[in-house]
A and B are shown apart, each in its own frame.
Chain A
Amino acid sequence: MTTENVPGRANDDLADTARRRFVSSLAAVTAVPGLILQTVAEAARPADQPVTDKVRWGLLIDTTKCNDGCDACVTACDKEHNLEGFGRPTTDAQWIRTLTAKDKRTGRVVTLPMMCQHCEHPPCVDVCPTGASFRRVDGIVLVDKHICIGCRYCMMACPYKARSFIHEAIQDQKTYAPRGKGTVESCTMCVHKVDRGDNTTACAEACDREGHQAILFGDLYDPDSEISRRIRERGATQIRADLRLNTGVRYQGI
């Protein structure tokens, strides 16, 4: 198991992780004044203020707490965004899914939720010909469906198979989650909840309700946040870390 460094600031060159570790250890020493500034900056962004890159939203998934056979996070996501299917599992929209992975050498089986990893360097954004696929400065990767032409390059480019294409006309969308035929979509990290200041996602809430607490939402830049603290203490892995995408979704216990 490889332990990954603390997720870095925008445009970090991942090659010089050693320098970054040194810098972050310095940051830890001077954490107290930084911490106060951070809490002031984060205190419930007013609705008329744009998002800033002072925060980076992320998820931490503790796979040791994720139960095989439980799909509470998937159901909650479907309900939250009204992702009703058409009974066609190969093409129906799926923002989050559960995966079971087995280590062939040891026979160890891990269950985990898989969704958009909200990369710092997202391949979906690189390939998008219209600029519809974009990364919001607070780290959430989204599709601007107003300018999405439905070419599906991003679906090809995503190493996590996180995106879905809407093949059929849709009614009864949630007002905060518009969805329509001919566009691509994926996990929005519950951006409507984040903007509202809920400080959680539908999947994380559902996981808590089930009593598993395997999904944690938080600010990866805030050294005092629960998510940063847990990553600092136990480390966390990126899936396909070799691609150097610096994902916003981190996993423990894989």
Chain B
Amino acid sequence: MRALVVRTRLAAGAVLLTLLWVIPFLASAGGRVPLPEVPAVPAEKGTQCVEDTEVMRRNHMEFLLHQRDETMHQGIRTKKYSLKECIACHVNPTEGGGYPEYGSEAHFCSSCHTYAAVNIDCFQCHNDEPEAE
């Protein structure tokens, strides 16, 4: 009798744990939290960023900050982590023609920053579109 009670409790616990583990996946799969639509990079500009996408998503701000100080104070102007190069690849003319402005959903940077509620001031000084060739 006693063994049976323990077994039922265990079974109930296992079911509960499984549910707890599965529910978030069900929720997101159902689309309750929509992911941002990040503008794609045209294939002719390349298919691989300077680091893996996961690394870039998490650490791009660190790369930019480091590069910024080196460029400003030591005149190191490598292209790999330069903001100018980010913009050159990731900001492209919209279908209506012309480049999207930072702040609009069509701009690569703000498409995600709006979603994540990140407020940056890069583009108070830096141009938010590529340099005209």
Contact = CB atoms under 8 A, between A and B. Distances in A.
B84 interface: yes
A119 to B, nearest CB: 18
A185 B64 CA distance: 22
A47 B81 CA distance: 13
Interface residues of B, number: 19
Contact of A195 (B68, B69, B75): B75
Interface in A160-211: 169-176, 178-183, 191, 194-195
Contact of A138 (B75, B76, B124): B75
B72 interface: yes
Given A173-B126, A175-B127, A183-B125, A146 B75 contact: no
A180 B102 CA distance: 15
Interface string A118-158: 00000000000000001010100010111000000000000
Range for the number of chain A residues in contact with chain B: 20 to 34
Contact of B78 (A47, A173, A179, A181): A47
A172 B101 CA distance: 11
A230 to B, nearest CB: 26
A50 B74 contact: yes
Contacts of A171: 127
Contact of B131 (A169, A175, A181): A175
B73, B79, B130, B131 — which one has the most chain A CB atoms within 10 A of its CB?
A: B73
B66 interface: no
A144 B72 contact: yes
Given A175-B126, A180-B124, A48 B72 contact: no
Contacts of B127: 171-175, 178
Contacts of B74: 50-51, 136
A2 interface: no
A124 B77 CA distance: 25
A142, A180, A182 — which one has the most chain B CB atoms within 10 A of its CB?
A: A180
Nearest to A138: B75
A51 B75 contact: yes
B20 to A, nearest CB: 45
25 contacts: A47-B77, A48-B76, A48-B78, A49-B76, A50-B70, A50-B74, A50-B75, A51-B74, A134-B73, A142-B72, A144-B72, A169-B124, A170-B125, A173-B125, A174-B127, A174-B131, A175-B127, A175-B130, A175-B131, A176-B84, A178-B125, A178-B127, A179-B125, A182-B124, A195-B75
A-B pairs with the 9 shortest C-beta distances? A180-B125, A50-B74, A178-B125, A51-B75, A180-B124, A175-B131, A178-B126, A173-B127, A47-B77
Interface of A: 45, 47-51, 134, 136, 138, 142, 144-146, 169-176, 178-183, 191, 194-195
Given A136-B74, A142-B72, A145-B125, 6 more contacts: A51-B74, A136-B73, A169-B124, A174-B127, A176-B84, A181-B124
Interface of B: 68-70, 72-79, 84, 87, 124-127, 130-131
